[in-house]
């Protein structure tokens, strides 16, 4: 069960966190859910509890995200943009965290 302890409202990328947590809680492998798994260590440090999950078929979340995007002509660009978005969220949330 993925949960969040410290809410950081209004930060860019917030929607990915909400969507990802929701999808993870029902076992749905969406773009947002995979992104949360990719950035899990950093998000955990922010109080977002993301369980470690086995990688089906030994495929990393990065590879699964890329495969999920593969039907799009801009798969690589979107893949990069999503990673940048979650990193940006984490950075902003870290700076918003006191202490």
Question: Binding to other proteins (CB under 8 A): which residues in 30-59?
Answer: 37-42, 44-46, 58
Backbone φ and ψ of 4, nearest 5°:
-130, 130
Q: Is 11 in the site for other proteins (CB under 8 A)?
A: no
Phi, psi of 3 (to 5 degrees): -135, 170
9 contact partners, CB below 8 Å, separation of at least 6? none
> Judged by CB, which is closer to other proteins: 9, or 71?
71
Residues 56-85 that bind other proteins (CB under 8 A): 58, 60-63, 66-67, 69-71, 75-76, 79-80, 83
| Closer by beta carbon to other proteins, 23 or else 35 | 35
- Computed from CA positions of residues 75, 28, 41, 48, in that sequence, does the dihedral angle turn out positive or negative? positive
Backbone φ, ψ for residue 48 (5° rounding)? -95, 110
Residues at the interface with other proteins (CB under 8 A):
37-42, 44-46, 58, 60-63, 66-67, 69-71, 75-76, 79-80, 83, 87, 90-91, 94-95, 97, 99
């Amino acid at each position: 069960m993925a949960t969040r302890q410290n809410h950081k409202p209004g930060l860019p990328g917030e929607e990915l966190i909400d969507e990802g947590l929701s999808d993870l809680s029902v076992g749905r492998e969406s773009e947002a859910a995979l992104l949360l798994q990719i950035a899990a260590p950093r998000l955990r440090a922010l109080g977002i509890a993301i369980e470690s999950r086995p990688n089906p078929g030994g495929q990393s979340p990065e590879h699964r995200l890329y495969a999920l995007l593969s039907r799009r002509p801009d798969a690589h660009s979107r893949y990069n943009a999503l990673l940048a978005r979650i990193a940006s969220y984490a950075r902003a949330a870290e700076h918003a965290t006191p202490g």
